[in-house]
Amino acid sequence: MDKEAIDLLISKTPKLKSARNKLEAMQAGSYCIHRSWGLGKITEYEAKTNRLLIDFKEKDGIHPMDPAFCVNHLEVLSEKNILVRYLNDPESIESMIKENPTDLIVAILSDCPNQTASNIELESQLSRLMGEKRYKKWWTATKKALIKDPRIAVPTKKGNPFILREIPVTAEDEVLQDFFQTKAPKKKIALASKLLDLSVKHEDIEKALPDILSELTDSLKESRQLNPGERLNGIWVRNDLARFIHTDVDALEPTSASLLQNAESLSELAEEIPGTKYKRYLDLIERTFEDEWKNIIFDLLKNSQGKFTSECITYLFERDLEKEIHSTLVRWLDEQSLKAPILIWIIKNRNSRKYAKMLSGMISPRLLSAIFYAIDYEALQNASTRRIPLAELLGEDQELIIDLLAEANVETAHDLAQTLMLNQGFEDLSKKSLLARFIKRFSSIQELVDGGDRTTERKQGLIVSKWSFDALKKEYELLVSVKIPENKEAIAVAREHGDLKENSEYKMARQDQDTLLATKNQLETDISRAQQTDFSDAPTDVVGIGSVVELIQGSNGETVTYSILGAFDSDPEKNILSYLTPLAEKLISRKPGDSVKISVEGHEEEWTVKAISRWVDLQK
């Protein structure tokens, strides 16, 4: 379009005055893009009909378009745009994709307004450039490399943009700057921990370590914002950094031992520390309480939960206390004081090579009675419909009921079946499934079952986080209050251009309408199925929704950590998976040591569960 044509168009439609720059960019040979029709090339402008002729690569033929319509519905691309560069020089761009992936992101950001782009904007360009399947794996790997690229500021929070820096800054320098600027002790500890995860062998970090230790030590001494567990974790982080420069950690106050000696409750302290530090915590107890450490750890075990239960038993077992563990568990069983986490551990380890001998004699009807009691107690304590892991385990382990009833007589079996029938922790369908296993061993129990099936099929729900549910509602409100009305107006304007068969604006607007209405229907379905959770009921002994799973990748032996969260929480840059993704679905209910296989681009990849923790525990 020349100046005369643009002036004429603006005189007819004054509101286009603000779009003059965009109209001036609509020249023959320029490329443009539409969210549905994809990439197009402007071939010419017909002054007689006031139409731009655009060749869309994904559509057949040339499409005449009203420039006024194009202002709001097409994006004109600059020569620096990565898609345009790919069309003009595909070999150079392919070389960047394969050999210099971070250079490609630098090239994309350099063409963005303010040299800034959101994750969604980058993914949109990458998807068009490489294709949906190829770009996802490439982008996941590239984001990890971007963290160490000083040219790019990688967002630490979801929703924040990627920024091309004017002056390159290393990741270490960025963490150091944040560390010395913040006054919040929790954030100081987190940033110091991040320095441990980065390579602390760089000279700039090594020189800064004395100042880091001084600030961290002062913060640990003076702050009232830390609970004892956070303070202990901060001491450990400080000590690990101190050892790097050969500082005597026992000379730094507060010490980890002094914190333990002054703790009001070692059990509460255990609940406040990260799951990855449990063994370190038990080591500290043994060193601090030389004479009483065994009794202390047994007391901690009695009221332990999840991974800490396993850590306590393993710690005691590795110190040749097998007989004491067995006698203590039997005593707690006799006293009816075995709690659900220990019962779960016993069930899962009853056939293990390491612990089977120690647990011999405990797999009995008495243990089943303790299991039913623990499930019923938990159900009565919970007013909500929160899942009961012990009940789920009893249902999932097909051999467990048979193993527990192996030494039972008919009378005992009938009593236990009656207890199951009255238990508040099972739905009717689950009870009948478990009773079928009783009947397999004792057919006379059939009389306890009335045969009526009063259960109704429940619509399958979607487990979602509160923030993703809020985002879903916000997206829906924006769709119905802004985007759909705008589309209706665009359709009405397009109708005025005449013959609908040859009307490209109308076809494009109607295609947008189909997309918007389909999105609306999907959002309404998702919102109706959504079941919000804060992931506080996630298990720690098996993988579940809300778990953080450390995995060993079979092909290269590398360790990768993923958080498995709600249906809409996938965030590959933070290694967060929706529980509906193929890998997450395979991992659900797995325990440490279990392996799963998943097909990746035509070949099978094996993943082995190394460790499990809870996502909510790591957010504290």
> Per residue in 58-116, pLDDT tens?
787 889 999 999 998 899 999 999 999 999 999 999 999 999 999 999 999 999 989 99
pLDDT at 452 over 50: no
**254: cis peptide before it, omega within 30°?**
yes
Stretch 216-242: mean pLDDT: 85
- Residue 590's pLDDT is 92
- Residue 448's pLDDT is 61
The residue count for the chain: 620
Which of 166-170, 448-452, 468-472 holds the top average pLDDT? 468-472
Which of 320-334, 433-447, 491-505 holds the top average pLDDT? 320-334
Stretch 144-166: mean pLDDT: 86
For the chain, the distance separating the N- and C-terminal CA atoms, rounded to the nearest angstrom, is 59
Where do the structural domains in the chain lie, given as residue ranges?
3-77, 82-164, 462-532, 547-618
Using a 10 angstrom Cβ sphere, with 0-12 exposed, 13-18 middle and 19 or more buried, the burial of residue 355 is: buried
- Residue 441's pLDDT is 78
Q: Options 2.40.50, 1.10.10, 2.60.40, 2.30.30; which CATH number does 3-77 get?
A: 2.30.30
Q: Please tell me which residue, 322 or 405, carries the higher pLDDT value.
A: 322
Rounded Cα distance between 301 and 248, Å, is 32
260-301 residue pLDDT tens: 998 889 999 999 999 999 999 999 999 999 889 999 999 999
Rounded Cα distance between 297 and 299, Å, is 5
Contact (CB, 8 A) for 30 and 42: yes
- Other Cβ atoms closer than 10 A to 302: 17
Q: Please tell me which residue, 498 or 318, carries the higher pLDDT value.
A: 318
Q: Please tell me which residue, 224 or 51, carries the higher pLDDT value.
A: 51
Q: Which of 592, 492, 494, 502 minimizes the C-alpha distance to 539?
A: 592
Contact (CB, 8 A) for 468 and 526: no
Q: How many CA atoms lie within 13 A of 408 on its CB side?
A: 26
pLDDT at 530 over 50: yes
Token representation of residue 469: 């549910």
Q: Options 1.10.287.180, 3.40.50.880, 2.40.40.20, 2.40.30.20; which CATH number does 462-532 get?
A: 1.10.287.180
pLDDT at 568 over 50: yes
- Residue 376's pLDDT is 87
- Residue 450's pLDDT is 46
DSSP for 360-416, written as a single string: TTTSSHHHHHHHHHHHHHHHHH--S----HHHHHHHH-TTHHHHHTTT--HHHHHHH
Q: Please tell me which residue, 333 or 245, carries the higher pLDDT value.
A: 333
Contact (CB, 8 A) for 538 and 470: no
Q: In the beta sheet, which residues pair with residue 63?
A: 54
Alpha carbon 243 to its chain centroid, in Å, reads 33
- Residue 278's pLDDT is 95
pTM: 0.51
Average pLDDT, the chain: 86
Please give the backbone phi and psi of residue 18, each rounded to the nearest 5 degrees, phi first. -70, -15
Alpha carbon 221 to its chain centroid, in Å, reads 34
Q: Which of 463, 349, 368 minimizes the C-alpha distance to 406?
A: 368
Using a 10 angstrom Cβ sphere, with 0-12 exposed, 13-18 middle and 19 or more buried, the burial of residue 478 is: exposed
Tell me: domain 547-618, CATH 3.40.50.300, correct?
no
- Is the dihedral angle over the CA atoms 231, 235, 236, 238 positive or is it negative? positive
Rounded Cα distance between 353 and 153, Å, is 50
Structure confidence at residue 449 as a pLDDT band (50, 70, 90): low
Please give the backbone phi and psi of residue 548, each rounded to the nearest 5 degrees, phi first. -110, 120
Stretch 24-47: mean pLDDT: 90
Q: In the beta sheet, which residues pair with residue 596?
A: 607
User: Cα angle at 306 between 302 and 307, to 5 degrees?
Assistant: 100
pLDDT at 384 over 60: no
